[in-house]
Amino acid sequence: MKARVHVMLKNGVLDPQGEAVRHALGSLGFDGVEGVRQGKVIELDLADGTTEETVRDMCEKLLANTVIESYTVELA
Amino acid sequence: MKAAILVFPGSNCDRDLKIAFEKAGAQVSMVWHKDDALPEGTDIVGVPGGFSYGDYLRCGAIAANSPITRSLKAHVERGGYALGICNGFQILTETRILPGALLRNANLKYICRTVPLTVRTADSDFTRSWEVGQQLQIPIAHHDGNYQADAELRAQLEGEDRIAFTYDENPNGSAGDIAGVLSANRRVLGMMPHPERAADEAQGNTDGRAMFDGLLSALVSA
């Protein structure tokens, strides 16, 4: 089984990389890009039967820094 | 004073930190990240700068889960001293030994230059040799030194007098210009600037040396 974890900076934490991407899009002529937030996608190959709870535990302990990041877990 | 300096794959300020401690008179051992115990009688653990584990995932995140880091946590919980500089500060926040987090610099650039800092508290064995308000010139060299602390945490750090240093000209976007913070028991300091790179005449700057001298006199008399 696979799991996909999305890690994003929490709302309210300024994302300087996202801001730089937004500026770059503007200079390429893409108007109207009002905000860009950049995050990470982490794909995990897991033993069958691994629970969402275990994946969330991985997020809490390593994959995300919950001081500044939030995460979502998709199991497939 | 016995100092133990942790060495991770990618640490690169470990030897400078060793020399700074030794010049102050400490007995220093280097401890590899796969070791699971600190040397007997360690008074202070130095967590050096560099790029532990290539900064993979987040700066300091992998090191924070290294075997030796469990011993570091136990040492700190027993009331032991620790000094984390640059990547060491990132590791101390990733372990939650110190609050907050360090993000990419606001201007997205790696910054390597000497910057003016102001000492904000003399109430710690790290900063006791200085006076509050004293200005120091200390080198910084980082890409991810943008200290994140929300309003509540900043108020707490200010209220408890735990901000050790602030930048005079904020180089990286850090909240409240914060360059270094202390733990609640004032025995753990994390800072982005490098006092160990300003601790010897040969480095052309000795503004950082008083930190190591102050620690030595505190820990020898303790």
Q: What is the pLDDT of residues B90-146, one digit of tens each?
A: 999 999 999 999 999 999 999 999 999 999 999 999 999 999 999 999 999 999 999
- For residue B36, the model assigns a pLDDT of 87
Interface contact B109, partner A, CB < 8 A:
no
* Percentage of chain B modeled with pLDDT above 90: 97
Domain count, chain B: 1
Do the chains contact at A16 and B103, CB–CB below 8 Å? yes
**ipTM of the complex as predicted:** 0.85
- Residue ranges making up the domain that contains B109: 2-221
- For residue B222, the model assigns a pLDDT of 56
Average pLDDT of chain B is 96
Question: Which of B61, B94, B104 lies at the smallest CB-CB distance from A16?
Answer: B104
Q: What is the mean pLDDT of residues A52-75?
A: 97
Q: What is the CATH number of the domain that holds B67?
A: 3.40.50.880
- Domains of chain A, by residue range, sit at 2-75
pTM: 0.94
Nearest partner of B86 among B75, B62, B102, judged by Cα:
B102
Best CATH choice for the domain A2-75 from the list 3.40.50.460, 3.40.50.720, 3.30.1280.10, 3.30.70.20: 3.30.1280.10
Q: What is the mean pLDDT of residues B137-157?
A: 97
Distance between start and end Cα atoms, chain A:
6
Both tokens assigned to B97: 């030994």
Q: What is the mean pLDDT of residues B169-192?
A: 98
Interface contact B105, partner A, CB < 8 A:
yes
Helix pair angle (B14-23, B209-221), 10° resolution? 60
Note if B40 is an active site residue.
no
Question: Which of B61, B108, B150 lies at the smallest CB-CB distance from A65?
Answer: B61
Tell whether the model's pLDDT for residue B68 goes beyond 60.
Answer: yes
Average pLDDT of chain A is 95
Do the chains contact at A16 and B173, CB–CB below 8 Å? yes
* Percentage of chain A modeled with pLDDT above 90: 91
